[in-house]
Structure 1
Amino acid sequence: MNSKKIRIEEAIGLPLAHDLTRIIPGEFKGAAFKRGHIIQKEDIGQLKAIGKESIYILELSPEEIHEDEAAIQIAEAVTTNDFFITEPCEGKANIKSRTMGLLKVDKDLLCQINSLAGIILATLHSGTLCRPEMVVAATRIIPLAIEKKWLEAIEKLCREQDKVISLQQLKSKKVGIVITGNEIYHGMIKDSSGDIMQGKLESYGSHVTRRIIVPDDPIEIAQAIRLLRESGSEMILVTGGMSVDPDDVTLEGVKEAKASIIFYGIPILPGSMLLYAVLGSTPILGVPACAIYHKATALDIILPKVLAEEDITKDDIITLGHGGLCLHCGNCHFPACPFGKE
């Protein structure tokens, strides 16, 4: 790369080789002038105000590529069609999700790419729930230009191994809810869990087809589960009755329905009493009572995985203890927080 540094007073009529950044603390950070802008006499004052006394005149060899084009090429190499790439700004290209799903990051491949000279690729945590148009990764090169061979090396790595980031899309499912509790069944209190569960499910693109309220009786819980499955529910949530109290019999009811228990108890707080079972191919989640109080519990970690049809094993559950403690922040920002991150 041949570059010549000249003072801005001598650069009138010349194009900028890259975006020039302006920062107002706490208010603004962005490009004050874009790459290719032809410097005018009236720009001099503003350029000096952002600390620019000189600019580069840039000449690239055929073996080199500018930071903007490099960012696009890297982003295209590391992503699947589940993402789109924004126009570079200040040398950086953002990678955004097209649809809802769980972000999957090949951490080993990510490290290989970031070990290449002058390349950076930053992602969200693997397992993050992504919504449409959410920034999931960003990339740039450190120098103003780079040899093309480094980008070719990235493309080769991704061809031979895999894409660095992919998206496991959430499926829209018909969900049935079994609401347990003598106090609700006999009309002593009004149920609140059904509306809360429905709101969560709808936010993930699924919908509730039916709710059934039953007493704390394993036989009736089992009958409700089987009825929902036979009537077309593709997933079943059973609320309440998950603790060790003598009146809490949801686990017995799920077993009575002849479902296979994948796990009961999970190293995540709150929500450690969560149950996951399958009846045939129908997943069943036993929801602990804390899910109607806390914004984020174990349910919010596991439910998206079930909707993405991940094969959740006991070994997978064991690893969730790392990062499985909620901080109970006064102003909850979940899922933009460490809770449940891999």
Structure 2
Amino acid sequence: MEFREIDTLDAKGWSLAHSVRAGNRKLPKGLTLTPAHIEALTGAGVDQVYAFRLDSDDVGEDEAAESIARQVAGSGLRLGISTRGRCNLHTEAAGLLLAPEALNTVNRADEAIAVSTLPHLSPVAAGQLVATAKIIPYGVKKASLDKATQLKSVLTVARFQPFTAHMVVTGQALSDKAYRLTENRLAALEGAITAYEGCDHTVPALVEALQAAADRKPDLLLVLGLSAISDRRDVIPAALEAAGGSITSLGMPVDPGNLLMLGQLEGITVIGLPGCARSPALNGLDWVLERFAARLPVTRDDIADMGVGGLLKETPFRPEPRAPLHRQAQPNVQPIVLAAGRSSRSGAQNKLLSRMNGHTVVRQTLAAVSQTGFNPPILVTGHEGEAVAEALSGLNYTRAHNSAFKDGMAGSLKRGLAHLPETAEFVCVCLGDMPFVKPETIKALAEAGNRLSEFKMFIPTFNGKRGNPVLWHRDMVEALLTIEGDKGGRQMIHDHENLVCEVPVDDHGILIDLDTPEALAQFGAVPD
């Protein structure tokens, strides 16, 4: 292929190597120049252009890209349209992408050829882009293309196949949230829980439950124990062997997920669930379930080979999280207290101005937030804003007023975010009618945010129930600015559960908001 800068007048039949503007008209790269194009270019004062012309032994970029893509595309993949030297591969159904390392030999055929894929064993959705074949220059030698297309290594998708699962829980009642999480985890892989039962956390009780479950012939048996599995003589592995089953692997080199057990019982795959199964975050259980759903073998050697790349994202459900490489003394947290609402549910009185123990609700809330030692809070006022501000005299805060408070909480949140300092790493959104939240709770959220970089939203929980306030990483601010109405960030939390970290705290105050006359009366709040 010829490639050089040439006089525009001599460029007939050549193709542009780069886009060029001819007056008000833009001529795209790859365009083969005609006399009309040359006239337009010279008229615009373009005397020279970078251009190329294929030799007789060259194959054009689009044709070459399609040839490469067609060669590497195996079962479960379809080709896109080849354009601008690129041809993409998309999946036909959900499954696991099988990308053998031998595919790199295609790239070794010539530097002009570039095949890129998602990592081997990546879970993929139907229609997802998983690979692309790109020709770097505008053509490639036919000899190089022939060499590349003679290679036999192909990219395939092992489709997820529908399966049924029976779940056994020992010594405890499984919460609705944990059940739904497991149900959703399986549903994403075409699986479904068809039976669920509990039993005592003893070997005899579990043996009976396992044998009864095996009689129903599910494809998969999931066992969640009262305590972690730490030895082959522990309750779950001991019961599996006593029931006539076998253990394929006890433990795995994937963290989180170390304490997973894999076994067999009457031809049924049995998984003893690790504690991180209660978290929606990626863990070793997901890797095993994905291979099972794709009907790929999971042997002891397969489990052992998961170690390289097996250090996954941290999950807060483990009692001793991995230590970070370094930790700042204290993150830069900007509290925002929302105090703009009309108190429509609390009756005639403004709940924020109600008094408890001689102080208004909003003052007690702001005082507690101020005790965290973070940035002085931003307080967003609205309804009876001047009266609210007067009730806070002497406290250090920044006031932001939302005159459109009737339009909902989203507008107040945006007003607060407009005052966010550039140095803030996190935003803690607090509600003005929650005076019982402890300063230590907000500090615990900040500590979790400082330690667990893969999560972006940190929500306190008391006895497993979520409450307020919520700590947001600065990365989420742009998205927060798009919300509308009176839902605040609830929908965003729902849509991005994989970014949510639940932080257990010893603080019942995270569940108490004084937004009804009954709640105000219960805690002795009286009109100002």
Q: Same fold (TM over 0.5)?
A: yes
Q: Which residue of 2 aligns with 1:136?
A: 130
Counterpart check, 1:250 vs 2:236: yes
Partners in 2 of 1:254 and 1:212 — Cα distance? 16
Instruction: Report the CA distance shift for 1:78/1:248 in structure 2 as closer, same or farther (over 3 A).
Output: same
Shift of 1:96: 1.8
SS of residue in 1 equivalent to 2:51: strand
Identify which of 222, 229, 246 aligns with 2:207. Answer: 222
Q: Which residue of 2 aligns with 1:28?
A: none
The answer as to whether partners of 1:266 and 1:317 remain within 8 angstroms in 2 is yes
Instruction: Report the CA distance shift for 1:225/1:15 in structure 2 as closer, same or farther (over 3 A).
Output: farther
Counterpart check, 1:92 vs 2:86: yes
Counterpart check, 1:58 vs 2:53: yes
Identify which of 279, 282, 290 aligns with 2:265. Answer: 279
Instruction: Report the CA distance shift for 1:198/1:32 in structure 2 as closer, same or farther (over 3 A).
Output: farther
Q: Which residue of 1 aligns with 2:106?
A: 113
Q: Which residue of 1 aligns with 2:287?
A: 301
Q: Which residue of 2 aligns with 1:199?
A: 184
| The 10-residue stretch of structure 1 (269-278 or 307-316) with the greater mean CA deviation from structure 2 | 307-316
SS of residue in 1 equivalent to 2:248: strand
SS of residue in 1 equivalent to 2:291: helix
Partners in 2 of 1:19 and 1:289 — Cα distance? 56
Instruction: Report the CA distance shift for 1:154/1:59 in structure 2 as closer, same or farther (over 3 A).
Output: closer
Partners in 2 of 1:213 and 1:11 — Cα distance? 83
SS of residue in 1 equivalent to 2:151: helix
RMSD: 3.7
Instruction: Report the CA distance shift for 1:213/1:15 in structure 2 as closer, same or farther (over 3 A).
Output: farther
Partners in 1 of 2:242 and 2:178 — Cα distance? 23
Shift of 1:19: 7.9
Partners in 2 of 1:241 and 1:248 — Cα distance? 11
Instruction: Report the CA distance shift for 1:199/1:300 in structure 2 as closer, same or farther (over 3 A).
Output: same
Q: Which residue of 2 aligns with 1:339?
A: none
The answer as to whether partners of 2:74 and 2:156 remain within 8 angstroms in 1 is yes
The answer as to whether partners of 1:4 and 1:58 remain within 8 angstroms in 2 is no
Instruction: Report the CA distance shift for 1:208/1:311 in structure 2 as closer, same or farther (over 3 A).
Output: same
TM-score (norm. length: structure 2):
0.52
The answer as to whether partners of 1:18 and 1:90 remain within 8 angstroms in 2 is no
Shift of 1:266: 0.7
Shift of 1:299: 0.2
What whole-Å deviation, never above 9, does each CA across 1:312-331 have from its counterpart, x for those lacking one? Answer: 22222222111111243534
Partners in 1 of 2:17 and 2:49 — Cα distance? 13
Q: Which has the higher contact order (CA 8 A, sep 6+)?
A: 1
Q: Which residue of 1 aligns with 2:337?
A: none
Shift of 1:16: 5.1
Q: Which residue of 1 aligns with 2:453?
A: 330
Partners in 2 of 1:245 and 1:150 — Cα distance? 55
Letter in 2 for 1:179: V
SS of residue in 2 equivalent to 1:272: coil
The answer as to whether partners of 1:2 and 1:59 remain within 8 angstroms in 2 is yes
Moved over 6 A (4+): 11-15, 37-41, 245-248
Partners in 2 of 1:2 and 1:14 — Cα distance? 12
Partners in 1 of 2:12 and 2:107 — Cα distance? 38
Q: Which residue of 1 aligns with 2:150?
A: 156
Identify which of 156, 175, 180 aligns with 2:165. Answer: 175
Partners in 2 of 1:176 and 1:306 — Cα distance? 15
Instruction: Report the CA distance shift for 1:60/1:122 in structure 2 as closer, same or farther (over 3 A).
Output: same
SS of residue in 2 equivalent to 1:54: strand
Give aligned-pair identity as a percent. Answer: 22
SS of residue in 2 equivalent to 1:178: strand
The answer as to whether partners of 1:19 and 1:90 remain within 8 angstroms in 2 is no
SS of residue in 2 equivalent to 1:157: coil
The unaligned stretches of length 5 or more in structure 1 are: 22-30, 337-342
Shift of 1:60: 4.1
Shift of 1:248: 6.5
Shift of 1:87: 2.3
TM-score (norm. length: structure 1):
0.78
What whole-Å deviation, never above 9, does each CA across 1:261-313 have from its counterpart, x for those lacking one? Answer: 10111111111110111112211111012220351211011111112222222
| The 10-residue stretch of structure 1 (117-126 or 63-72) with the greater mean CA deviation from structure 2 | 117-126
The answer as to whether partners of 1:100 and 1:170 remain within 8 angstroms in 2 is yes
How many residues get paired? 311
Aligned pairs for 1:18-57 within 5 A: 20=19, 33=28, 35-36=30-31, 54-56=49-51
Letter in 2 for 1:330: S
